[in-house]
């Protein structure tokens, strides 16, 4: 029964437990999230001190607008990593979605709203197929999703080797639509969709049996099975969710670029993984927060904004800073894991 107890502890926070050691472990779970939010605020203050106009509301709203597709993709990636898995296909699925969307709208004259459910179903089915292979045949998620990455990217070039511009007027109107919060601050439709996805994901992760099962699988899959949790279908559902989020991210990317192209979203899978890790989710699974992932994405966007305001640094410095952050947060995760293990033994 010890393994069952351990999984229960990993699957949900025991806020009513008065044991000092357990209170300590509870606090440790929030440390990466607190570090991410604190660093975001510190970098914002530094930017405000160095550059005029940096602290204007629209600068921060632009972080949501310009990274809306990445936020949506990382929502699905967070659930995958919480189970202890990985999904390398997300960037390719985004590109494939832009190609399918552009083809349906431009070449076959579908409306945006008719093409939307088709591409979402395509993404969910693609993810569910990978999840089925991982769960049914006990294959490594890294290998299966790597194959999915090559497959989706290759399918893009079967559709067209050139970029497909989207000139559909209703879709262009959606891309240009703005929700004005004040006279000088606004959000795009894609940004609102991204915020809605984050809120829905937070509720799903912490307020539904599906979310609790995801945490339990990441904590200890064998113990989750012993507790009678639906491990098999949850693993398949998690990858289906990641595929659907990637497809929805592809739709917002198509709105952002108004085109479909096989080279869209190259390397986005690495950005998504980086944002999830910086947001405080453990790569080993079982610990993490969707809200932290949001700040992970905003952190990447803030680094790019700081470099843009500076004007003297190359955009490649973004990669350097992200690499340093990843090293720091990976070390922090390792230290927290060791501390939690020593507290458990003690």
pLDDT (tens digit per residue) in 255-264: 999 999 999 9
Query: Which residue's entry shows tokens 């606004």?
Result: 186
For the cut 50, the answer to whether the pLDDT of residue 12 exceeds it is no
- Which tens digit of pLDDT belongs to each residue from 262-277? 999 999 999 999 999 9
What average pLDDT is seen over the chain?
89
The secondary structure of residue 188, as a DSSP letter, is E
Of 21-35, 83-97, 228-242, 290-304, the one with minimum mean pLDDT is 21-35
- Look at strands 259-260 and 164-165 and give their pairing: antiparallel
- What is the tens place of the pLDDT at every residue in 34-45? 888 998 999 999
Both tokens assigned to 54: 């940096």
Rounded to whole angstroms, how far apart are CA atoms 64 and 192? 9
CA distances from 151 to 15, 114, 195 (A): 45, 25, 30
- CA-to-CA distance for 174 and 172, rounded, in angstroms? 5
180-188 long-range CB contacts below 8 Å, 24 or more apart?
181/57, 181/61, 182/57, 184/56, 184/57, 184/58, 185/57, 185/58, 185/61, 186/58, 186/61, 187/61, 187/64, 187/65, 188/65, 188/68
Name the fold adopted by 2-8+21-345.
ABC transporter involved in vitamin B12 uptake, BtuC (1.10.3470)
Kindly report whether the global pTM for this prediction surpasses the value 0.85.
Answer: yes
Are the C-beta atoms of residues 205 and 211 closer than 8 Å to each other? Answer: yes
pLDDT in tens, 159-195: 999 999 999 999 999 999 999 999 889 999 999 999 9
Query: Among the residues of 68-188, which ranges form H helices?
Result: 68-82, 90-102, 112-137, 141-159, 169-176
At residue 317, the 3 state secondary structure works out as helix
> pLDDT tens digits, residue range 296-318?
999 999 999 999 898 887 778 88
pLDDT of residue 321: 87
């Amino acid at each position: 029964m010890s393994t069952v107890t351990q999984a229960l502890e990993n699957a949900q926070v025991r806020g009513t437990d008065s044991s000092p050691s357990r209170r300590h472990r509870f606090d440790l779970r929030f440390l990466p999230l607190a570090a991410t939010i604190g660093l975001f605020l510190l970098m914002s203050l530094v930017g405000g001190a160095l550059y005029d106009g940096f602290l204007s509301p629209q600068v921060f709203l632009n972080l949501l607008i310009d990274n809306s597709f990445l936020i949506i993709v990382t929502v699905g990636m967070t659930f995958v990593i919480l189970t202890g898995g990985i999904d390398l296909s997300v960037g390719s699925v985004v590109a494939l979605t832009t190609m399918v969307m552009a083809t349906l709208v431009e070449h076959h004259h579908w409306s945006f709203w008719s093409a939307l459910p088709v591409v979402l179903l395509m993404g969910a089915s693609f993810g569910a197929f990978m999840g089925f292979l991982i769960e049914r045949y006990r294959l490594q998620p890294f290998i299966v999703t790597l194959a999915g990455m090559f497959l989706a990217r290759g399918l893009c070039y079967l559709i067209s080797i050139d970029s497909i511009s989207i000139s559909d007027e209703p879709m262009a109107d959606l891309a240009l639509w703005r929700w004005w919060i004040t006279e000088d601050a606004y959000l795009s439709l894609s940004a609102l969709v991204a915020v809605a996805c984050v809120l829905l994901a937070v509720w799903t992760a912490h307020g539904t049996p599906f979310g609790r099962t995801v945490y339990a699988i990441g904590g200890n899959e064998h113990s989750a099975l012993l507790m009678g949790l639906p491990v098999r279908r949850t693993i398949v559902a998690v990858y289906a969710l990641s595929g659907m989020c990637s497809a929805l991210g592809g739709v917002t990317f198509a709105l952002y670029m108004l085109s479909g192209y096989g080279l869209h979203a190259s390397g986005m899978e690495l950005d998504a993984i980086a944002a999830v890790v910086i947001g405080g989710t453990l790569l080993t699974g079982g610990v993490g927060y969707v809200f932290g992932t949001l700040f992970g994405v905003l952190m990447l966007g803030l680094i790019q904004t700081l470099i843009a305001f500076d004007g003297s640094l190359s955009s490649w410095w973004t990669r350097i800073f992200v690499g340093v952050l990843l090293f720091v947060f990976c070390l922090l995760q390792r230290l927290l894991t060791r501390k939690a293990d020593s507290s458990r033994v003690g």
